[in-house]
Each structure stands twice: as structure tokens, then as C-alpha cells.
């Protein structure tokens, strides 16, 4: 297992700019590389590619979308190719729009190492770009309203930080990152505590400094949450008519209270939900149902022997 020392300064800079923890991403990418090499070295590449060959190659989008994950690709290349053995001639910026045929990243690198890293790099890039692309569609669907699109904790195990980063690239907002950075009182907590007020009191007594949100599925529960001075209410699986009724009551009674709609939302219905006047929509589909964006690695030219000492990003 390689550590953060294997990552070049330029890649660290990319990760820092993206607000991604370099050690966490390096560990995650190394784990993915180890999975690909679990049964031995890349026999196909090592047996077909001449020793010492280098190429120009591009990560090319086959479809339109939003790019996300280029710093992660850089980590994969640093770990396999080495930070001093590949060079960038073109790189887009995460959150940029991609058209079919666009080159998100074009590099020169040793062929053997590049092809060994290819699948791992593309797995991250395609998935994260898919999350960003889907998020951008939801953001576009509520454009012109007060609503902000937020993600949930319905993420791929082990991929939460990167998937939530991709949501930001698509123009969305992150909800809580885990169970400890904010409190969300859901229906099971209400039942276990003996009611909305009791659950709110218990959370505030245990963790008075963290933000608190309460899930409600009726106007009655919303009224109980507002009476407990909850700053954010999650309106779960309500119809547009029910949402409108709740929004009207809350705006008249406690206008400082923020409202978030969740459950059963689709791209076709979210505009109507946004029109009720809620502040946020929580969309688990951003991460649990995002299709990958089709991006491939295309070798553009064979360059011959690898030059030593070329820089990375």
C-alpha cells in the first residue's frame, strides 16, 4: 500500500483546490488499484506493449455532461505511472460542461503504466461525472425558484466523500456527511422517543451545538416541530397540495423555519414541488441512482521511448 508520499505536489494542489482530503483519496484509489491487480500484474498490457513505449492519450467524453473526478484520476496516475513520469497537455476543470467528443484530460505517459491505471481512473471519473451530470439536471429543473438541491446519505459504501464532492460539481448542496455532524430526527426516532417534542428535547440535551432537522409527514407533526423551535423541517412524502398547505402555515407562523421536501421526487415533478415555496429538496437519487457518464481513454499517438524526468500535472 502506497501512502501520500507517492502523490506529486501538483496533484496535491488539485485535491486541495477541490477540498478533498489527499490521504483519504489516495487510500481509496490505492484500494481500487489493489482490487484490479489482486490476481496478478496486467498480463495483457505487459505482453502486448513494447518496453519503453510512451503515448499521447485523451480521456474523451462520449456524451454530454458535467465532469467530476479529474483530481482522482491524477492520483491514480501518480500511484501507477509516478508523478514525474506523465505530463498534461490539456485538462478541464471539475464542474465544467462536457460535450460529446470533448477531451477532459490529455496526457503523455508510458503506455504500460497508463493502460494499467486506465480502468481504475475511468471507474472513478465516469461514476463521479455521472453524479455531477445528474445533479446538474435536478438543479436545472428548479432553476428560477428559491429551492436548492441537496443530497442524502444514500451513497455507495466507501464513496461518500467523493460522491458528495461530485454533487457539488453539479451545482447541488451537501446535506450532512455522516451521523455526527448534524442531527436528523426521523420517524423511528420519534416513535422510540415518544413523540416529536421528546425526540427534539433528547437531541438538544445530548448535543446542543449541532444543527437539528426533524422529519415530518403531516401538518400536525410540523406544528409540533415548530413548537419545539426546530430550525429545519423535512417534509417526507407529501403531495404538492400538502406541501403548499404546510408552507403557507409555516411562513405565517414561523417564517425563520426552513423547509425541505423529500420522498418520491422525480425530475418531472420537482418543479411543482419547488413551486410550493420549500427551501430545499433532498434527492437520494443523485448518488444512489446516477448512471455513469460514458468517458473513454483514447490513445492518440505513439511517441516512442519514455523520457525521464517529465513532470506531472
- Condensed to tens digits (0 to 9), the pLDDT of residues 224-267 reads 999 999 999 999 999 999 999 999 999 999 999 999 999 999 99
Determine which one of 102, 103, 215, 279 is catalytic. 215
| pLDDT exceeds cutoff 50 at 306 | no
186 is catalytic: yes
The pLDDT of residue 3 is 75
Determine which one of 87, 160, 186, 204 is catalytic. 186
Nearest-5° Cα angle at 115, 111 to 117: 120
Cell numbers standing for residue 30? 490505492
215 is catalytic: yes
- At the top level of CATH, the class of 4-138+291-305 is alpha beta
Hey, CA dihedral for 155, 159, 164, 166, is it positive or negative?
negative
154 is catalytic: yes
Q: CA separation (Å) from 228 to 187, 221, 252?
A: 16, 11, 16
Q: How confident is the model at residue 313 (pLDDT cuts 50, 70, 90)?
A: very low
119 is catalytic: yes
Q: Give me the count of residues in the chain.
A: 313
Answer whether 183's CB lies under 8 Å from 177's CB: no
Determine which one of 154, 160, 258, 300 is catalytic. 154
Determine which one of 78, 94, 103, 236 is catalytic. 236
2 is catalytic: no
The predicted model gives 290-305 an average pLDDT of 92
pLDDT digits (tens, 9 = 90+) for 123-146: 999 999 999 999 999 999 999 999
For the sheet with 258-262, list strands across it.
148-150, 280-282, 258-262, 232-236, 212-216, 183-185
Q: How confident is the model at residue 207 (pLDDT cuts 50, 70, 90)?
A: very high
Determine which one of 119, 137, 148, 300 is catalytic. 119
| pLDDT exceeds cutoff 90 at 308 | no
Mean pLDDT of the chain: 94
Q: Which residue has the cell 454533487?
A: 167
The predicted model gives 80-87 an average pLDDT of 97
pLDDT digits (tens, 9 = 90+) for 23-53: 999 999 999 999 999 999 999 999 999 999 9
Task: Express as a percent the part of the chain with pLDDT over 90.
Answer: 94
Q: CA separation (Å) from 248 to 129, 148, 299?
A: 38, 19, 58
Q: Is 280 helix (H, G, I), strand (E, B) or coil?
A: strand
The pLDDT of residue 311 is 35
The pLDDT of residue 245 is 97
| pLDDT exceeds cutoff 50 at 307 | no
Span 142-288 CATH architecture: Alpha-Beta Barrel (3.20)
The pLDDT of residue 4 is 83
| pLDDT exceeds cutoff 50 at 310 | no
Range(s) of the chain covered by CATH 3.20.20.70: 142-288
For the sheet with 53-61, list strands across it.
87-91, 103-110, 53-61, 295-305
The pLDDT of residue 1 is 57
Range(s) of the chain covered by CATH 3.90.1170.20: 4-138+291-305
The pLDDT of residue 304 is 67
User: Going along 131-256, which residue ranges are E strands?
Assistant: 148-150, 183-185, 212-216, 232-236
Q: Is 103 helix (H, G, I), strand (E, B) or coil?
A: strand
Amino acid at each position: 500500500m502506497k501512502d501520500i508520499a507517492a502523490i506529486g505536489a501538483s496533484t496535491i494542489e488539485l485535491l486541495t483546490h477541490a477540498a478533498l482530503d489527499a490521504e483519504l483519496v489516495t487510500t481509496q484509489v490505492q484500494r481500487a488499484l489493489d482490487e484490479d491487480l489482486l490476481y496478478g500484474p496486467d498480463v495483457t498490457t505487459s505482453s502486448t506493449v513494447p518496453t519503453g513505449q510512451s503515448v499521447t492519450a485523451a480521456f474523451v467524453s462520449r456524451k454530454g455532461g458535467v465532469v467530476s473526478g479529474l483530481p482522482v484520476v491524477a492520483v491514480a496516475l501518480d500511484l501507477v505511472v509516478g508523478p514525474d513520469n506523465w505530463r498534461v497537455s490539456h485538462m478541464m476543470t471539475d464542474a465544467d460542461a462536457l460535450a460529446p467528443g470533448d477531451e477532459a484530460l490529455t496526457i503523455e505517459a508510458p503506455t504500460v503504466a497508463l493502460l494499467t491505471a486506465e480502468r481504475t481512473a475511468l471507474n472513478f471519473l465516469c461514476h463521479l461525472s455521472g453524479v455531477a451530470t445528474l445533479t446538474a439536471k435536478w438543479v436545472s429543473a428548479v432553476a428560477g425558484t428559491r429551492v436548492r438541491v441537496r443530497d442524502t446519505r444514500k451513497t455507495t459504501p466507501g464513496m461518500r466523500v467523493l460522491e458528495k464532492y461530485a454533487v457539488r460539481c453539479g451545482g447541488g448542496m451537501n446535506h450532512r456527511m455522516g451521523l455526527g455532524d448534524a442531527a436528523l430526527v426521523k420517524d423511528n426516532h420519534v416513535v422510540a422517543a415518544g413523540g416529536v417534542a421528546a425526540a427534539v428535547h433528547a437531541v438538544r440535551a445530548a448535543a446542543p451545538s449541532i444543527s437539528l432537522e426533524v422529519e415530518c409527514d403531516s401538518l400536525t407533526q410540523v406544528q409540533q416541530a415548530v413548537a419545539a423551535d426546530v430550525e429545519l423541517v423535512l417534509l417526507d412524502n407529501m403531495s404538492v397540495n400538502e406541501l403548499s398547505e404546510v408552507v403557507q402555515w409555516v411562513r405565517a407562523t414561523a417564517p425563520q423555519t426552513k423547509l425541505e421536501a423529500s420522498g418520491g421526487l422525480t425530475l418531472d415533478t420537482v418543479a411543482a414541488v419547488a413551486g410550493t415555496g420549500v427551501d430545499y429538496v433532498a434527492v437520494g437519487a443523485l448518488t444512489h441512482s446516477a448512471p455513469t457518464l460514458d468517458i473513454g481513454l483514447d490513445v492518440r499517438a505513439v511517441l516512442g521511448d519514455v523520457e525521464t524526468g517529465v513532470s506531472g500535472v
